[in-house]
Chains A and B, each alone.
Chain A
Amino acid sequence: MGNEAEKPNIITSSLDFLVNWGRSNSLWPFPYGTACCAIEFMSTEVGRYDLSRIGSEYVRFTPRQSDVLLVSGTITYKQAPILKRIYEQMAEPRWVIAMGACACSGGFYDCYCTVPGIDHIIPVDVYIGGCPSRPEAFFDAMFDLQKKIKDESYMKQRAESVKEQLEMIKVKTAEAKCEAKTAIHEKVVDIKDFMKEKQENLVKKAQFWKE
């Protein structure tokens, strides 16, 4: 076995498949728990339901190291800027799950202080109903999210992200070519003038010596 690993190997695969496989099987959640849905999430994590068997091994309490923002609970207007800031601090690629009725739509809090759904603040990938949602529903949402990630194309995203740069480079090269052309044209004109002068000088010299 040891020898096999040392030999040079070749894996043929499409890059999209490989990247999506890696991403969808290591979704580390950031629990933004504010209400009873967070308690249901706790029971999803522990041994009975065991979230780590689908690769969500660690719950990360920092937005820098997590992939999925898991909003479980009521979001008030006082909390909205905090939630938005945490979403902005997460590194790409990032996904959002709205867990429970309150995070999806404000639930029964139809009042002055509750945000009617977190999609007013941040984009949401998967919504889970229930008040609070059961761990099975949460697993269903995780599988949906995995399916969604498997549909994504890493190369297309990358192409889109470098699209602007490509266009900029094209414009720059066209400009540079134009400049070079005009410069060469000027130089050619200069050389022609120089040749003309030389010829005239030669003609003058020839005439002088003839005389």
Chain B
Amino acid sequence: MTVEEIFAALEGKFDVKREPLDKWGITAVVAAPYLHNAVQFLKEESGIKFDMLVDIAGIDYLTYPNHEGPRFAVSYAFKSMKNPGARIRLKVLVSEENLKVPTISDLYANANWYEREVYDQFGVIFEGHPDLRRLLNHVEFVGHPLRKDYPAQKRQWLSTNDYLLPELEKRLEELGYKVIQRSKEVETNDNEFLEGSIKE
């Protein structure tokens, strides 16, 4: 099964369109409701099994010349481990009013952090994501810095350290440990956290 045949299957099953701007001709534009099924088809059912998620990238078309249609897009790059030459990209167009894309973190484990990064930098919300928090910027950051309308040199100070203890305890509990008692130093102090900080 070649990449062309996979494209034909995708067109038949999930109503995808070829992206004319892509000079390699490996990008397919898929509607958000079909995304999860299309990815599952690529990973498990298609002849070339695309079992590696290379990247998830957000795109902001605000200042893109001659662009029509929704403002944002999320692009998924897949690769096959058995056929190293075979690559495919899926692109989901996201309008500014409805910034929602279904998550694929249940299919690819590394999609978890990629989606967090796209959420952090572009504000695209991935529905069904287990832990959608900011990844690169700090908790008190307001706005999404890779959007074209964010002033690139606008700086935002952080007042306290990020509070990561709940995550740590969650992981410990997954490993079979149980938190019986916390020492005085790590207990949360309400005065230390400003508005917008994660606190539980």
Contact = CB atoms under 8 A, between A and B. Distances in A.
Contacts of B156: 77, 112
B198 to A, nearest CB: 13
B152 A78 contact: no
B157 A77 contact: yes
Interface string B133-162: 000111000000100001011111111111
Contacts of A77: 137-138, 155-158
A164 interface: no
Interface of B: 136-138, 145, 150, 152-162
A85 to B, nearest CB: 7
Contacts of B145: 112-113
B155 A112 contact: yes
Contacts of A112: 145, 150, 152-156
A115 to B, nearest CB: 8
Contacts of A78: 136-138, 158, 162
B155 A81 contact: no
8 contacts: A77-B137, A77-B138, A78-B136, A81-B161, A82-B161, A111-B152, A112-B153, A112-B154
Instruction: Decide if the interface of chain B is mainly helix, strand, loop or mixed.
Output: loop
A111 B161 CA distance: 21
Contacts of B153: 110-112
Given A111-B152, A112-B150, A81 B136 contact: no
Contacts of B150: 112
A81 B167 CA distance: 20
Classify the interface of chain A: helix, strand, loop or mixed: loop
Nearest to A80: B158
Size band of the interface chain A makes with B: 10 to 19
A82 B138 CA distance: 12
Given A77-B156, A112-B154, A113-B137, 20 more contacts: A77-B155, A77-B157, A77-B158, A78-B158, A78-B162, A80-B157, A81-B158, A81-B161, A82-B161, A85-B161, A111-B152, A111-B153, A112-B150, A112-B152, A112-B153, A112-B156, A113-B136, A113-B145, A115-B155, A116-B155
A80 to B, nearest CB: 6
A78 to B, nearest CB: 4
A110 B155 CA distance: 10
A110 B156 CA distance: 13
A116 B156 CA distance: 12
Contacts of A82: 161
A81 B152 contact: no
A74 to B, nearest CB: 13
Interface in A46-101: 77-78, 80-82, 85
B52 to A, nearest CB: 29
Contacts of B155: 77, 112, 115-116
Nearest to B141: A77
A1 to B, nearest CB: 51
Q: Which of A80, A115, A116 has the most CB of B within 10 A?
A: A80
A81 B154 contact: no
A75 B156 CA distance: 13
